[in-house]
Structures are given as C-alpha cells and as structure tokens.
Structure 1
C-alpha cells in the first residue's frame, strides 16, 4: 500500500512497484492537485482508493491485506510552502502520521502487514553545520528550525516509538531534492513574484525551467545562488524506496537516498539556460531569499551503497532532458 499515491513522489513509487510485479493499493484524497490521471490507473494490479490517510478505520481495513506500507501521504511543497503554511504543515502532517501508525499497528497485530517504510526528508538535517550529513546526525545536531523539518524529524520518532512499544518494523528514508515530471500547480497556492513570473509553491528545477520558457531575462534566482543541492531523479528515488521496503537488510534502519553529486543553484540555472537558450548571454538577478532556504544540503550516501547495494545514477543532464519538455508543455497548456 502507498499513501499519497497521486502525489509527485508517490507516482514514481507506484510505477516502480508495478514494474517489479507487485500488486499495489494506492490511497490519496487529491488535496494537493485535485483529481489527477496516471499512466497506470487502469493497470490490473493497481487498486486506487480516494480517501484520507487520517481515516484510521479505512486505513486499517486496507492495510490488513497488505504485506508492506509505504507511508508517503503528507502536506509538502517548496521553500515558500514552509512559510505560507507553517502551522498546517505541522498540525496536519502530525495527524496524518499518527493515524497511519495507529492503522499500521492494528494491521500488523491482526493482519498481514510486515513493515512500514516511512518517507522522512533531508530537512531533518536543516540545522547541521558539518557536511555531508550521514544517518545518525539527525540525533546529534540541533533540531530543525522550520515546522516542516521538525515534523519530518517527528516522523522518525513515530517510526521508532511504534517499534519500541508495538514491535512494528520500520525503515526510514530521507529523500534529497527529488526532480521529475508530474509536479503541477497545487490547490491553494500562494503565488510568489519572481521578476515578471509568478511562482507556485513548487521547487527550484521546474521554477527555473518555467521562467526561462516564459522568456524571463535576466533570470531571477533566490538569494545569491550559492545554495548547494543534490538533485535526485524521481525514478532513482522510487527504486531506492522499493529497495528499502523489500530488502531484509533495511529492517529497522534508516537511509539517505540521493545522488552523490553537488550542484549550486547558479550552476543549475546555467545548465537549464543553455539547454533552452543555447549560447544566448545569461544574466542572473538575486531575489531576497526565504528564511528557511538552507544553504547546504549535502548527503552521505555511503550507507545505502554498502548495506543495500543501491546508488542513484541518473545525471542532472538526463533529468533535465525529461523535465524541460514536460514543463514546456505544461506552460503551453496553462498548467504552470
């Protein structure tokens, strides 16, 4: 079972599970994008339920017939989202997580459920002052300052507490800056002006692409553009999530899932500009940065490689060759 199955990451995960021959139950309440269609909607091994992950009775019923649960449902967005919905991110996501755990505990005790695979976030490392961030650092550094990062750290405490008290097995996954297609303008978006383009609460890659596609010149970036990120392809992330779910070696453990390659926002802007504009001169303008725009988010991915034999290998260049045409079409259709 995958909660948040109609979401950005959830779509990649369901696709990967079906590709590997799993039967999948997906649940989503369409709260972020509204009703969406996926390529696998009519797949014979996919059963979709429109429902709320906070419905403990429904979740318990669905989970009782499942071996594994990938808990991905959450309010999630880009950097502006952290500020616009600081309370909702904390309160709603805590309710979602508590309900999912309640249902999973019951399904583990009385049904077939073997383990829960929890999606945390690289934002648990928000307050670090040393890099790369490796598994275990989240317990040694100061807690995240943003309510989103703090709540994702709480997800990890839920996972461990459910094991401590109820022996519900877990694996914790921390994705870093997922990049791919299928990310749209969310319902309830607060539009942020960035030069002559209004941004939705999305992420830096699609936002930069849409700016260039819409003809913004000079190109606006947040802050000085020295922020370091590890852009990870959605397909790679989904493979890593399924490996963490399926491998016995991941039992009651946690993993950073990301590419090992660092890229600054300035470097990202340059690559996107060249792919769309060729040799046209690039001029960057710095907009005021958001408070929680972490300057360096760099993972140690050694553990996933050594324990699971898993690596994210898709290059930024290859990701952009998929994302740029998708965003270009979405802009033309008025979806972005």
Structure 2
C-alpha cells in the first residue's frame, strides 16, 4: 500500500509524511516548491522532518506529470494537502487559486477516479464558513457566503469531491483545518509573524483592534486527525464526508500575543489596524463529528504550543528572527 501526499514539503504535509513513515507505510510525495513564501524553508523543513520521503517536484497543473506519477507509484490512498494558501493573497493573485485549487483539484480527482484510489483525504478550511458562520461551527452549517476567493475555492473542492463520490463512487473525506500552527509553520501566518517580530523587536499589526478570536490548532493534533480520517474511509452513500479539525477552544488575539510575549521574554510593539478584507472575526470548531468517527480529541493548548513556536523561530531565524 502506497500513500501519495501532495504538498509534501508544506507545513502540514511534512509532518504527515513523517507520521506515515513512522507507522511503517510507503509514502511518496509531490510539491511544486512555489515562491508564495521562501522555498528554502520548505527544503529545510523536509530535511528536518521527513528526509527519507521521496518528494517529486511537480505541479498540480501538470496533468501528464501527475498521470506518470500515479502510474509509477500506484497509490492506494491519497492525502491532498497541496493548494494555493492564504486569504489575503487571494485578493491580489486570484488566478493562482483558480489554477491550483480548482483546475489542479480536478486533475487529482480524475486520476483518483481512473486509477482506482481507495480513499482521498483532502484539505478544506475553516474559512468556508464565511458570513454564514455561527460559533461553534458545525459541518451542517451552510457554506454559501465565503469572504474570500480562497474560501470559495475550498468550498468548491467539497462540492467537487461530493460529485465524484456520487457519480463514480470515489471515497473522499474533506478536512476543514482551523488555524494550524507549530514549529516549521507557514511564515505568512500570525503565529510565526508575531513570534519573529516580537523576538526582533519589530512592531506587529493587530487587526480589528485586537477584537478577534481564533481556534488555534497545534500541528500534532491536526496530523492525528488527518491519519484518523484516512484510516476511516466513508461508508455513506455517496461516500463523501467532511470533518472539522480544530481545537474547539477559541483564543482572544490579545491573549495569544501575551503568550508569545512571555515566551519571547519581551513585550510586543502593537500597531492596531482595522479589519482586513476577507478575514473572519471568530473561528470555533465543533469537533463532535470527528471525535465520534475516529476519536479526534486535540490536546495541545497555546500555552504548550506557542512557546515551541517561539523557541523554533529563535533557533531557525536567529536573534533577529
């Protein structure tokens, strides 16, 4: 049994590859190493977390290359984590999201369908809840009022996967991630942005004047959820399910910053700003469905997780972070 992981050099992808290999499973990865953020971080991340994983430099838009990889590796299951990420970036680079998150996802669905993949587990996002969200966000809530193109593409992925499950019997599981953080995390997200800035004595921008709450979820908990979902393919008709993977404990932005300050040993220089277009004021996951299906129960608080991020930033980026 071979498992294909897309976005294998990414933050979650590298941890997933490591966890799969520790279970003794055959893993092959792909990643296009794009420059949305510094590709050197991706290469260093792979060397640190999953150096023995065979990761091919390949783009989801390369249909012939993808087909050749499927023919060579013959994956029985696929964990699809590759995507153009970022809410704010989607405001200025819309075509990157259409190419990767829509066209690229269709390419993957077609190969899973025609090559007999037994189960596709794919990344969705808490951002799909948009203006319809009522905390705690449950999977039964509507997702038809996205606040960004990124969110719209992730909601579209869920509809596309449902269609392939209905038409072709492709077993698929969508995973709505809630603000994942940890060492080796994405440098464009608040946990690393704030940690690096505080360590270096640079100001941080605090949007909506700090009146925001986020369901921060440590990467180890997310990986446990990904593997749990992978191991429990849907038996529904059609065989498609969606799960929230979050911490179910939203944190005030000011408290989040205070934990970073304590770990860094210095105060943050805060510059308060109005709300950013596309952002959500609060996220909060209802995780009852994931717990019932495969025992998902996140255990890491920000008091445990954030100091690890600060320590990693200090080690990797140095004193000037």
Counterparts of residues 66-215 of structure 1 (less than 5 Å)? 66-77=75-86, 79-108=87-116, 113-137=117-141, 140-183=142-185, 202-215=188-201
Taking a change above 3 Å as real, the CA distance of residues 2 and 333 of structure 1, as seen in their structure-2 partners, is farther
The secondary structure found in structure 1 opposite 2:121 is strand
What's the counterpart of residue 39 of structure 2?
34
- What is the match of residue 193 of structure 1? none
C-alpha displacement of 1:331 = 3.2
TM-score under structure 1 normalisation? 0.85
Q: What SS does the corresponding residue of 1:181 show, helix, strand or coil?
A: coil
CA distance in 2, matches of 1:42, 1:131: 40
Report the Cα offset of residue 60 of structure 1.
3.0
2:271 to 280, 285, 292: 285
- Of 246-255 and 311-320, more deviation after overlay is shown by 246-255
What is the distance in 2 between the residues matched to 1:100 and 1:333?
42
CA distance in 2, matches of 1:127, 1:90: 22
Aligned partner (choices 48, 52, 55) of residue 62 of structure 2: 55
Q: Residue in 1 aligned with 2:316? A: 330
Counterpart Cα distance in 1 of 2:167 and 2:319? 51
Q: Which runs of no fewer than 5 residues in structure 2 stay unpaired?
A: none
Q: Which moved more, 1:34-43 or 1:164-173?
A: 34-43
Mapped to 2, the partners of 1:86 and 1:117 lie a distance apart of 25
Alignment partners' CA distance in 2, 1:53 and 1:284: 39
- Cα deviation, residue 285, structure 1: 3.2
Equivalent position SS for 1:223? helix
1:2 partner SS: strand
Q: CA deviation at 1:184?
A: 5.4
Judging by fraction of residues, say which structure has more helix.
2
In 2, Cα distance between equivalents of 1:47 and 1:333: 33
Q: In 2, are the aligned partners of 1:135 and 1:255 still within 8 Å (CA)?
A: yes
2:286 to 300, 319, 325: 300
Q: Does 1:274 align with 2:262?
A: yes
**Deviation (angstroms), 1:248:** 4.0
**Which residue of 2 is the match for residue 263 of structure 1?**
251
Out of 270, 293, 301, which is 1:315 matched to?
Answer: 301
Per-residue displacement from partner, 1:240-294 (whole Å, max 9, x unpaired)?
A: 101101124676221101112110111101111122226x6x6643123311121
Change (3 A) 1:119 1:323: same
Structure 1 stretches lacking a partner, 5+ long: 186-201
Q: Number of aligned pairs?
A: 307
User: How much has 1:89 moved relative to structure 2?
Assistant: 2.0
Aligned to 2:24: 21
TM-score, normalised with respect to structure 2: 0.88
Do the aligned partners of 1:121 and 1:176 also contact (CA within 8 Å) in 2?
yes
**Which stretch of structure 1 is more off in the superposition, 145-154 or 85-94?**
85-94
